[in-house]
Structure 1
Amino acid sequence: MNAIDLYRWMLTSRLLESALGRKNPRWFSTEGEEATIVGSFAELRAGDVAAPHYRGPFVAYLMRGAEMKRLACQAFGKAHGYAKGRGMPFVGPAGLGFIPWVAGDLGTSLGMATGAALALQRQGQGHACVCSFGDGTSNRGDFHENVNTAAIWKLPIVYVCQNNGWAISQAARTYLPAPIVDRAQGYGIPGVSVDGNDVEAVRDAVAQAIERARTGAGPTLIEARTWRKHGHWANDKTPYRTAIDQPDNPVDPLERMRERLLERGLASQADLDAMHRHIEAEVHEAVEYALNQSDAGPAELGADEVFATAARA
């Protein structure tokens, strides 16, 4: 994916997620983390599998062909959402190569992604899986179990830790005694540390790991160090955050990439302003469309949508 497209998707993520957060106080903000999210899934091909983190999956869905209006519906529990308003709002669209992550218990996607990588390996068509997760999730038992299994079986998967320094309201300094990437050595696989606020650096690191996976060399663990600009959710005022927990001169990934595009002559300020207006209008249309759709009702939330009835069995 080229530089212009990387910037366009980061900007799309920033504008869409901000708009959703203004309407849904429980929305999980992604501001500050766009480079890690977009860079992680930028180089996947058709047939590959993606298992994005719960914080910021919508842009990953959009990059593979999802409809913004239906994603907005999903965010507001509308019947026209991809999961018909059920469960968490992060369910991926079927048929686009996503792990259908629906659990509120973080870390369950690690097992599904590792299982998908095993299926890809057995199919033998050179496909790979990219799974992203947070720094807090990296302390769960399933992290060890799945990375260890993938290492033993040389599964075609890339594990990307989207390390924003927080597990809800707990600072990473209180539960991470060493860099997450250092754990890779214990599994006998490559570990890569990357600036998670540099979308090109993330793209390149993940792309190299994907190619390694495709050749049968096994998994890679990548730690992308980024920052969470806001609280855990949209209306979180972060009373727990102190001066010691603030990053020194945090880099906004969009500002960094915008400056690069201008310096390289790949776009003018007028071009970027026009792009911003276009995406902003698209986001506004999607959000307004979703807000005017019907909430999920008995037809979407009823037993027939969960259990097989005698007539359907």
Structure 2
Amino acid sequence: MGVELPTTEFSDIPDELAMELEAHAHDGAEGHGAMVQLLDEDGRFRRDSKLAESIKGLSEDSLQGMYRQMAMIRRFDTEATALQRQGQLALWVPLRGQEAAQIGSGAATQAQDYVFPTYREHGVALTRGVDLAELLRLFRGLSNGGWDPRATGFHLYTLVLAAQTPHAVGYAMGMQRDQARAAARGEEAGDPGAVVAYFGDGASSEGDVHESMVFAASFKAPVVFFCQNNQWAISVPAEVQSRIPLFNRAKGYGFPGVRVDGNDVLAVYAVTQWALERARAGKGPVLIEAYTYRQGAHTTADDPTKYRLSDEEQSWLAKDPLARFEKHLRAEGIADEAFFEQVAADGDALATKARADILEFTAPVLADAFANVYAEPHPLVEQELAWHRDYEAGFADAAAEATREGGR
């Protein structure tokens, strides 16, 4: 621990936003390098920043909406954790502490964009209109996904570490070629879209991420790599994953990398919006490192007290993204006590609905799983299905015999 990470120069970003980023770089108190920030830890807005211009278009309703989504997904996350502890979910992957990184980046996407998540992007799912009940269905083991990615622009969760990043680049290259083909034919292709590939600091060490960035850079694919550096890859600290700040890795591939305060929802929104606009304009990929913290366990199967200290946890609680944004909204007169009370009540209602959804779920028929192995009927699968039905029928025969014996 305690490794001092070098800073970066924003002049390395070959873009019109370089001057704005340089003007607003913030040297972290712990020596973690330059970091884009619009709200300090007390929620004070940095009005002198040129980057502040990029969020002037956000109305008070939009700002309230961001807070509402952050608060709602935290309450949902808390309820889902409780449901797992009570045996209603097989597993849950908490996001507590990462709400600003997820809501801020998700809010910056547009309808034509497409998102490839890992397994923790519940907040992004909310911004894309995914029914949160489908997340519960997945973690209860009743579904392989549940929602329709084509309707939401939000891909199914990927539990295999970093496997979604090559898919994201391939999808982005497909979007790129669709636009080029339509232009060559003089056809209307609609507004160009971009892809966001989410992954964590631990996944950044996987070869899939390296290969994805090579392809993205070579073909100038319209993809934004969004790394949520929550400091811990399960029990491995971030400084073991990389001896330099993760966003600096982008230099090796020839495209911009930016570190943003991942607990500052406005800064995350501004940087992600810029990166997506750049990608849609055909200027290629960007790597965003959202510097944040996982307040709880990696999953409900994890015990973080085994590998990190309470002093570290307490220091990050002071940077809590929800509390920071609430202070800002109150100080600016954007939201009053009645608003926060209503959000809390709505969060409780969402939690109540989540619990009711769980109890109403019906278990799938195991025999139906045989139909999902191949697209067409297969004789071996049919043979195995017949064996399964005979096996289940044996239990029914045994039960009937026991009933008869009991009646004698």
- TM-score normalised over the length of structure 1: 0.89
1:92: how far off? 4.9
User: In the alignment, is the contact (CA less than 8 A) between 1:99 and 1:113 conserved in 2?
Assistant: no
Equivalent positions of 1:157-168 (< 5 A) are 157-168=223-234
1:244: how far off? 8.8
Amino acid of the structure 2 residue aligned with 1:291: L
Alignment RMSD = 2.0
Q: Cα gap change, 1:244/1:263 in structure 2, threshold over 3 Å: closer, same or farther?
A: closer
Equivalent positions of 1:173-252 (< 5 A) are 173-234=239-300, 236-243=302-309, 246=312, 249-250=315-316, 251-252=319-320
User: In the alignment, is the contact (CA less than 8 A) between 1:51 and 1:99 conserved in 2?
Assistant: yes
2:141 maps to 77
2:77 maps to 17
Equivalent positions of 1:214-293 (< 5 A) are 214-234=280-300, 236-243=302-309, 246=312, 249-250=315-316, 251-293=319-361
1:81 maps to none
- 1:94-149 per-residue CA deviation (whole Å, 9 max, x = no partner) reads 321122344x3210000111111001111214110111100010011111111111
Amino acid of the structure 1 residue aligned with 2:375: A
In the alignment of these two chains, the number of paired residues is 299
1:40: how far off? 1.6
Unaligned runs of 5+ in 2: 1-57, 86-90, 180-190, 379-408
Q: Cα gap change, 1:92/1:200 in structure 2, threshold over 3 Å: closer, same or farther?
A: farther
**Matching of residue 308 in structure 1 with residue 375 in structure 2:** yes
Amino acid of the structure 1 residue aligned with 2:333: G
**Matching of residue 93 in structure 1 with residue 152 in structure 2:** no
Specify which structure has the bigger relative contact order, considering alpha-carbon pairs within 8 angstroms and separated by 6 or more residues: 1
1:59 maps to 123
2:173 maps to 118
- Structure that is richer in helix per residue: 2
Amino acid of the structure 2 residue aligned with 1:305: N
Q: Cα gap change, 1:35/1:240 in structure 2, threshold over 3 Å: closer, same or farther?
A: same
SS at match of 2:259: strand
- 1:214-256 per-residue CA deviation (whole Å, 9 max, x = no partner) reads 1100000011110011111125332432339826722110001
User: In the alignment, is the contact (CA less than 8 A) between 2:73 and 2:126 conserved in 1?
Assistant: no
1:72: how far off? 2.7
Q: Cα gap change, 1:245/1:170 in structure 2, threshold over 3 Å: closer, same or farther?
A: farther
- TM-score normalised over the length of structure 2: 0.69
For residues 274 and 186 of structure 1, the distance between their equivalents in structure 2, rounded to whole angstroms, comes to 48
For residues 292 and 239 of structure 1, the distance between their equivalents in structure 2, rounded to whole angstroms, comes to 35
Amino acid of the structure 1 residue aligned with 2:124: A
Q: Cα gap change, 1:169/1:92 in structure 2, threshold over 3 Å: closer, same or farther?
A: farther
Q: Relative to structure 2, which stretch is displaced further, 18-27 or 222-231?
A: 18-27
For residues 137 and 169 of structure 1, the distance between their equivalents in structure 2, rounded to whole angstroms, comes to 13
Q: Which runs of 4+ in 1 moved over 4 A?
A: none
For residues 140 and 71 of structure 1, the distance between their equivalents in structure 2, rounded to whole angstroms, comes to 25
1:27: how far off? 1.0
User: In the alignment, is the contact (CA less than 8 A) between 1:69 and 1:287 conserved in 2?
Assistant: no
For residues 337 and 213 of structure 2, the distance between their equivalents in structure 1, rounded to whole angstroms, comes to 44
Amino acid of the structure 1 residue aligned with 2:98: E
User: In the alignment, is the contact (CA less than 8 A) between 2:137 and 2:146 conserved in 1?
Assistant: no
Determine which of 111, 114, 118 is the counterpart of 1:46: 111
For residues 327 and 104 of structure 2, the distance between their equivalents in structure 1, rounded to whole angstroms, comes to 17
SS at match of 2:214: helix
SS at match of 2:299: coil
**Matching of residue 30 in structure 1 with residue 95 in structure 2:** yes
SS at match of 2:168: helix
SS at match of 1:130: strand
Identity across matched positions, percent: 34
For residues 247 and 294 of structure 1, the distance between their equivalents in structure 2, rounded to whole angstroms, comes to 39
Q: Cα gap change, 1:165/1:212 in structure 2, threshold over 3 Å: closer, same or farther?
A: same
User: In the alignment, is the contact (CA less than 8 A) between 1:33 and 1:227 conserved in 2?
Assistant: yes
Unaligned runs of 5+ in 1: 79-84
